[in-house]
C-alpha cells in the first residue's frame, strides 16, 4: 500500500469534486465521440443535471467497433460458460460485432427506431448481450427484465416501458429445473395494457416454445440471408441507453434511466481506475444481466475497456460444485472477479475449508470484488484467508450504475487499508454526506441517512422513466440539494463509509433487490387475507429473507391444517406473482398488525424483534398490546 498511490487517489477525488468539469472533461477523452460535447456539466435546470450535452456518440460503437478498428478484432470479447446448459463459446470482438450489427438490423426491420423501447427477458445467454448492444447500436432503449421475475412483475415493466419489441428465450436453465420463459412472457403480455408488436424468441435446445402470430424465431431472423447488418446510429449524449426497473417500497417498480455518454465515460474510467482491469485482460462478473451489476460489469464496462468478459450461466454452488468460480478463473485466466457476498457465503457453506480453491491455479487473480449487499466481516475474512488476494467491498445501487464507495485496486493491490465491514472511501464524483433527520451533517462515527450532494457524477440516473416528479419525490425532496440513497450508515474518522442497511422497506434477498410492496400485493390478493406485512429478516446465507405476517378476513377461522394450506397457497402466490427469487418461506397468521396512529405498519420494529435486536417502538404506536402479542411469534422463529 503506497502512500503515493493513496495521496494520488485522494487528490483525484478532491479534484473531481472541486472541479467536476475539468475532471470529467478529461475522462471524456477515454471514449470516442462523433461530436464532442459543448458542455461537460449542464446545470441550467437543477435538480436535473446533465452530462456532456451537445455531444454525440454511440455506445455500441465504443464497446465493439472501435476495438475492431484498433486491432482487437481477433481478441475474445465474450466467453460464454454455462455448466447448466453444458456449453461454452467464445466470441471475438469481430464476431460479436457481426452478430450485434445483424440483430440491430433485425430490430430495424421490425420498425424499431431511435428512442423505441425493447424489453429483453432472457437468461444468461450470449443473445441477451447481443440484444442489448444491438439496441444501443440503433439508439433503441433496452429494458432487461431479470429472468427470475414472474409474469406480474414482467407485465408491470412492459406496461411502463411500452416496448415495440420483446426479445426472449424459450427457457432458462436452473440447476433444479428448466424454467419456461415464453409462457410467462405470454401471460405478462396478456396482463399488460400495452402489447408489443413482435417478440423475437430464442429457441433453446432444452425446451422449444410454441410461437404465436407476433412471434419470430431468433435463428431464422438472424440468418445472414434474412437480414443486413445495421449501421451505428449517432445519438445525443443524454439519449437514454436503457431503462432498468428496480424495487422501491411500493409495488410499482422505478424505471431507472441511464444516459449514454455519462455512463460510457464513468464505466470506462472505473474499469481501470477502480477495478484495475486493463484492455486485453479477462474479467469475471458473476451476476445476471437482469441486474445493474450485470449491465455495468458483465456487459458495458469490460467491453468499453476492450477487455474480455465472461458470461456465466450457473450458480456459485451446485453447478457442479463450489469450485466453479475457481475453475473459471484458472481456465479463462481471470485477473479480477466480481460477485455478491451471498455467493461467497454459499461457497463457504459447501466448502468451509476452501479445499476446492486448492485444486486450481489462481495465480492470475489480483482481487475479488463483492457488492450488492453488506459484506459481513466473517465472509470477508474467509475469502481473504483462502484466496490470498485483496477482497474488496464496493457499495452502489441500480440508481448510480457504478460504485459510490470502493477501495480502488492499484498495481500493488488495494490502495487503502481494508477495514472489514466498510466499502472504504467515496469514489470520484460522489460527495457522500451522512445527515440527521433535520438534514444536518452528523459527526464522524454517528449513524444517519447516507446522502450524496448534487450534482451526482456521470453515469448516475438523470431521472425516472417518464416520471420526473417521482424522481424528485423519491430521491431529492427529503433534503434539498441531496440525493437520498435509502441506505443508513456512518463515516468514520478516516473517511471510511459504513453502509448498515436500508432505511426504507426495500428487501435485499441474496443480493436481489425486492419490494415489500410487491410481495404484499401478491399476498393481499388471496381471498382470505384482510391485511398483511412483509419484513426482511436476517439470514445466514441470503443476507435477508422475507417473512410475512397476515391477518385473516373477519369470520375466517382456520384449524392447523387449514393454516398450513393457506401458508402454502401464499408462498405459491408470491412465487407465481413476484418470482421464485423472492424466496418467501415463512408466513405467520396473526390477529392484528402493529401500526402507528396514522395507520403506518411498524415494519422496522417488527424486523428488529425478529432479528433479536432491541426494538425501537415509536411513541405514536396505536395499540401497544398488538405488538406485545406479536413479540412471541416474531422472536420465536
Ligand atoms: N430464472 C428463473 N428462475 C430463477 C432465476 C432465473 N434467472 N434465478 C433464480 N431463480 C429461481 C431459482 O431457481 C430458485 O427457485 P427454487 O426456489 O424453485 O429453487 C429461486 O429463484 C431462488 O434462487 P436463488 O436466489 O438463486 O437462490 P438459491 O437458493 O437457488 O441459491 C445462491 C442461493 C446464494 C447460490 C444464489 O442466490 C446466488 O447465486 N446468489 C448470488 C446472487 C447474485 O449474483 N446477485 C447479483 C447481485 S451482484
Ligand atoms: P441494487 O439497486 O439492486 O444494486 O441494490 C442496492 C442496495 O443494495 C443498496 O441500496 C444497499 O442497500 C445494498 N448494497 C449494495 N452494495 C452494498 C455494499 N457493498 N454494502 C452494503 N450494502 C450494499
580 CA → ligand 1 middle, Å:
8
Residue nearest to atom 11 of ligand 2 (CA): 373
pLDDT of residue 586: 95
pLDDT of residue 249: 77
* Whole-number average pLDDT of the chain: 96
529 CA → ligand 2 middle, Å:
32
pLDDT of residue 197: 98
398 CB near ligand 2 (under 6 Å):
yes
Q: At 37, phi and psi to the nearest 5?
A: -65, 150
- Beta-carbon count within 10 A of 190 CB: 10
Q: How far apart are CA 216 and CA 194, in angstroms?
A: 19
Closest by Cα among 64, 77, 194 to 133? 64
315 CA → ligand 1 middle, Å:
8
314 CA → ligand 1 middle, Å:
9
Residues 338-365, mean pLDDT to the nearest whole number: 97
User: Rounded to 5 degrees, what angle do the CA atoms 467, 472, 477 make?
Assistant: 155
502 CB near ligand 2 (under 6 Å):
yes
Find where cell 470516442 sits. Answer: 32
pLDDT of residue 636: 75
Closest by Cα among 121, 402, 454 to 273? 402
H-helix or E-strand containing 630?
helix 624-635
Q: How far apart are CA 221 and CA 591, in angstroms?
A: 57
Q: How far apart are CA 634 and CA 627, in angstroms?
A: 10
Residues 349-369, mean pLDDT to the nearest whole number: 97
Residue ranges of domains in the chain: 1-489, 505-635
> pLDDT confidence of 22, banded at 50, 70, 90?
very high
> pLDDT confidence of 290, banded at 50, 70, 90?
very high
- Beta-carbon count within 10 A of 67 CB: 26
315 and 175 Cβ atoms separated by less than 8 Å = yes
pLDDT tens by residue, 397-442: 999 999 999 999 999 999 999 999 999 999 999 999 999 999 999 9
User: Could you say which ligand is closest to the alpha carbon of residue 574?
Assistant: 1
Cell (9 digits) for 58? 454511440
513 CB near ligand 2 (under 6 Å):
yes
pLDDT tens by residue, 486-496: 999 999 999 99
23 and 264 Cβ atoms separated by less than 8 Å = no
pLDDT of residue 2: 84
Where is pLDDT greater, at 452 or 252? 452
Q: At 110, phi and psi to the nearest 5?
A: -85, 5
Report the percent of the chain where pLDDT is more than 90: 95
Find where cell 503515493 sits. Answer: 4
Q: Do domains 1-489 and 505-635 have the same CATH topology?
A: no
Closest by Cα among 230, 260, 267, 268 to 242? 260
Look at domain 505-635 and name its CATH class.
alpha beta
152 and 578 Cβ atoms separated by less than 8 Å = yes
pLDDT tens by residue, 99-151: 999 999 999 999 999 999 999 999 999 999 999 999 999 999 999 999 999 99
pLDDT at 558 over 60: yes
pLDDT of residue 251: 77
486 CB near ligand 2 (under 6 Å):
yes
Return the biggest CA–CA distance within the chain.
74
487 CB near ligand 2 (under 6 Å):
yes
372 CB near ligand 1 (under 6 Å):
yes
596 secondary structure, DSSP code: B
Pocket test for ligand 1, best of 342, 344, 371 (most atoms within 8 A of CB): 342
pLDDT at 498 over 90: yes
543 CA → ligand 1 middle, Å:
13
Q: At 369, phi and psi to the nearest 5?
A: -100, 140
Residue nearest to atom 21 of ligand 2 (CA): 374
pLDDT at 253 over 80: yes
251 secondary structure, DSSP code: S
pLDDT at 611 over 70: yes
The atom of ligand 1 lying closest to the CA of 542 is: 34
> How many residues in the chain?
637
Cell (9 digits) for 267? 464505466
394 CA → ligand 2 middle, Å:
9
User: CB-based contacts of 233: which residues, under 8 Å, 6+ apart?
Assistant: 58, 114, 137, 138, 139
pLDDT of residue 637: 54
393 CB near ligand 2 (under 6 Å):
yes
507 CB near ligand 1 (under 6 Å):
no
582 CB near ligand 1 (under 6 Å):
no
Pocket test for ligand 2, best of 146, 249, 296, 374 (most atoms within 8 A of CB): 374
Where is pLDDT greater, at 252 or 221? 221
Full DSSP string of 19-86: -HHHHHHHHGGGS--SB--S-SEE-SSTT--EESTT-EE-HHIIIIIHHIIIIITTSEEEEEEETTTT
Q: How far is CA 38 from CA 28, 61, 259, 503, in A?
A: 12, 21, 16, 39
246 CB near ligand 2 (under 6 Å):
yes
pLDDT of residue 252: 87
273 and 299 Cβ atoms separated by less than 8 Å = no
Cell (9 digits) for 619? 411513541
User: Could you say which ligand is closest to the alpha carbon of residue 149?
Assistant: 1
Pocket test for ligand 2, best of 513, 515, 536, 581 (most atoms within 8 A of CB): 513
Residue nearest to atom 37 of ligand 1 (CA): 510
Pocket test for ligand 1, best of 148, 181, 574 (most atoms within 8 A of CB): 148
Q: How far is CA 157 from CA 273, 375, 572, in A?
A: 34, 30, 22
pLDDT tens by residue, 156-202: 999 999 999 999 999 999 999 999 999 999 999 999 999 999 999 99
Q: How far apart are CA 588 and CA 534, in angstroms?
A: 10
Q: How far apart are CA 545 and CA 341, in angstroms?
A: 15
User: Could you say which ligand is closest to the alpha carbon of residue 504?
Assistant: 2
Full DSSP string of 393-450: EEE--TTTSS-SEE--EETTEESS---TT---EEPTT--EEEE-TTSPBPPTT--EEE
Q: How far apart are CA 605 and CA 614, in angstroms?
A: 9
The atom of ligand 1 lying closest to the CA of 123 is: 7
User: Could you say which ligand is closest to the alpha carbon of residue 536?
Assistant: 2
Look at domain 1-489 and name its CATH class.
alpha beta
174 CB near ligand 1 (under 6 Å):
yes
pLDDT of residue 238: 98
pLDDT of residue 476: 98
Alpha helix (H) residue ranges in 196-340? 218-222, 261-273, 292-294, 301-304, 324-332
pLDDT tens by residue, 90-109: 999 999 999 999 999 999 99
pLDDT tens by residue, 572-607: 999 999 999 999 999 999 999 999 998 999 999 999
User: Could you say which ligand is closest to the alpha carbon of residue 317?
Assistant: 1
422 and 498 Cβ atoms separated by less than 8 Å = yes
508 CA → ligand 2 middle, Å:
8
Residue nearest to atom 5 of ligand 2 (CA): 397
Q: How far apart are CA 394 and CA 277, in angstroms?
A: 16
Residues 5-16, mean pLDDT to the nearest whole number: 97
Q: How far apart are CA 90 and CA 75, in angstroms?
A: 10
Residue nearest to atom 24 of ligand 1 (CA): 581
Pocket test for ligand 2, best of 245, 379, 395 (most atoms within 8 A of CB): 395
171 CB near ligand 1 (under 6 Å):
no
Residues 452-463, mean pLDDT to the nearest whole number: 98
Cell (9 digits) for 31? 471514449
Alpha helix (H) residue ranges in 224-371? 261-273, 292-294, 301-304, 324-332, 341-350
- C-alpha 340, offset from chain centre: 11
423 CB near ligand 2 (under 6 Å):
yes
Residues 253-261, mean pLDDT to the nearest whole number: 97
Closest by Cα among 629, 631, 544, 527 to 586? 544
Cell (9 digits) for 454? 448534487
Burial of 557 (0-12, 13-18, 19+ CB in 10 A): exposed
User: Could you say which ligand is closest to the alpha carbon of residue 375?
Assistant: 2
Amino acid at each position: 500500500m503506497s502512500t503515493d498511490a493513496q495521496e494520488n487517489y485522494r487528490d483525484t477525488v478532491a479534484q473531481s469534486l472541486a472541479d467536476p468539469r475539468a475532471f470529467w472533461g478529461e475522462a471524456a477523452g477515454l471514449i470516442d465521440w462523433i461530436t464532442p460535447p459543448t458542455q461537460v456539466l449542464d446545470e441550467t435546470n437543477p435538480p436535473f443535471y446533465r452530462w456532456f450535452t451537445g455531444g454525440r456518440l454511440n455506445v455500441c460503437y465504443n464497446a465493439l467497433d472501435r476495438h475492431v478498428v484498433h486491432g482487437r478484432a481477433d481478441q475474445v470479447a465474450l466467453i460464454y460458460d454455462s455448466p447448466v446448459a453444458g456449453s461454452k463459446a467464445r466470441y471475438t470482438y469481430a464476431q460479436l460485432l457481426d452478430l450485434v450489427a445483424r440483430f440491430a438490423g433485425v430490430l430495424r426491420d421490425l420498425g424499431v427506431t431511435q428512442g423505441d423501447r425493447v424489453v429483453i427477458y432472457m437468461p444468461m445467454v450470449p443473445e441477451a448481450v447481443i440484444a442489448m448492444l444491438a439496441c444501443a447500436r440503433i439508439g433503441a432503449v433496452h429494458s432487461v427484465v431479470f429472468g427470475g421475475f414472474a409474469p406480474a412483475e414482467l407485465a408491470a415493466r412492459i406496461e411502463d416501458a411500452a416496448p415495440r419489441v420483446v426479445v426472449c428465450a424459450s427457457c432458462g436453465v436452473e440447476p433444479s429445473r428448466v424454467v419456461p420463459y415464453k409462457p410467462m412472457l405470454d401471460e405478462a403480455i396478456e396482463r399488460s395494457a400495452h402489447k408489443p408488436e413482435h417478440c423475437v424468441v430464442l429457441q433453446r435446445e432444452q425446451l422449444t416454445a410454441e410461437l404465436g402470430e407476433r412471434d419470430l424465431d431468433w435463428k431464422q431472423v438472424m440468418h445472414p440471408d434474412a437480414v443486413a447488418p445495421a449501421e451505428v446510429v449517432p445519438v445525443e449524449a443524454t439519449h437514454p441507453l436503457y431503462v432498468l426497473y428496480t424495487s422501491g417500497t411500493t409495488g410499482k417498480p422505478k424505471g431507472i434511466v441511464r444516459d449514454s455518454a455519462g455512463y460510457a465515460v464513468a464505466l470506462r474510467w472505473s474499469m481501470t481506475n477502480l477495478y484495475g482491469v486493463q484492455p486485453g485482460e479477462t474479467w469475471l462478473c458473476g451476476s445476471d444481466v437482469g441486474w445493474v451489476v450485470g449491465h455495468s460489469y458483465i456487459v458495458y464496462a469490460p467491453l468499453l475497456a476492450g477487455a474480455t468478459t465472461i458470461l456465466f450461466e450457473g450458480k456459485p454452488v451446485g453447478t457442479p460444485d463450489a469450485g466453479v468460480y475457481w475453475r473459471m478463473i484458472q481456465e479463462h485466466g481471470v485477473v479480477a472477479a466480481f460477485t455478491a457476498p451471498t455467493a461467497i457465503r454459499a461457497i463457504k457453506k459447501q466448502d468451509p475449508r476452501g479445499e476446492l480453491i486448492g485444486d486450481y491455479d489462481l495465480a492470475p487473480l489480483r482481487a475479488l470484488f463483492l457488492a450488492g449487499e453488506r459484506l459481513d466481516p466473517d465472509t470477508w475474512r474467509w475469502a481473504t484467508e483462502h484466496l490470498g488476494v485483496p477482497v474488496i467491498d464496493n457499495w452502489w445501487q441500480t440508481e448510480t450504475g457504478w460504485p459510490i464507495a470502493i477501495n480502488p485496486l492499484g498495481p500493488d493491490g488495494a490502495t487503502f487499508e481494508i477495514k472489514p465491514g466498510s466499502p472504504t472511501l467515496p469514489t470520484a464524483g460522489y460527495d457522500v454526506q451522512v445527515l440527521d433527520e433535520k438534514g444536518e451533517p452528523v459527526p464522524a462515527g454517528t449513524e444517519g441517512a447516507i446522502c450524496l450532494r448534487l450534482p451526482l457524477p456521470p453515469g448516475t440516473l438523470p431521472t425516472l422513466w417518464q416520471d420526473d416528479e417521482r424522481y424528485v419525490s423519491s430521491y431529492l425532496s427529503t433534503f434539498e440539494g441531496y440525493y437520498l440513497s435509502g441506505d443508513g450508515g456512518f463515516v468514520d474518522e478516516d473517511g471510511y463509509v459504513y453502509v448498515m442497511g436500508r432505511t426504507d422497506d426495500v428487501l435485499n434477498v441474496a443480493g436481489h433487490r425486492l419490494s415489500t410492496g410487491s410481495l404484499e400485493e401478491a399476498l393481499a390478493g388471496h381471498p382470505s387475507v384482510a391485511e398483511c406485512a412483509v419484513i426482511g429478516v436476517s439470514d445466514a446465507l441470503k443476507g435477508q429473507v422475507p417473512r410475512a405476517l397476515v391477518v385473516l378476513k373477519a369470520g375466517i377461522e382456520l384449524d392447523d391444517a387449514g393454516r398450513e394450506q393457506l401458508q402454502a397457497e401464499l408462498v405459491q402466490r408470491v412465487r407465481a406473482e413476484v418470482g421464485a427469487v423472492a424466496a418467501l418461506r415463512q408466513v405467520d397468521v396473526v390477529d392484528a398488525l402493529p401500526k402507528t396512529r396514522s395507520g403506518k405498519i411498524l415494519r422496522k420494529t417488527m424486523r428488529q424483534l425478529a432479528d433479536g435486536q432491541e426494538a425501537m417502538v415509536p411513541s405514536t404506536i396505536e395499540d401497544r398490546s398488538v405488538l406485545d402479542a406479536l413479540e412471541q411469534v416474531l422472536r420465536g422463529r
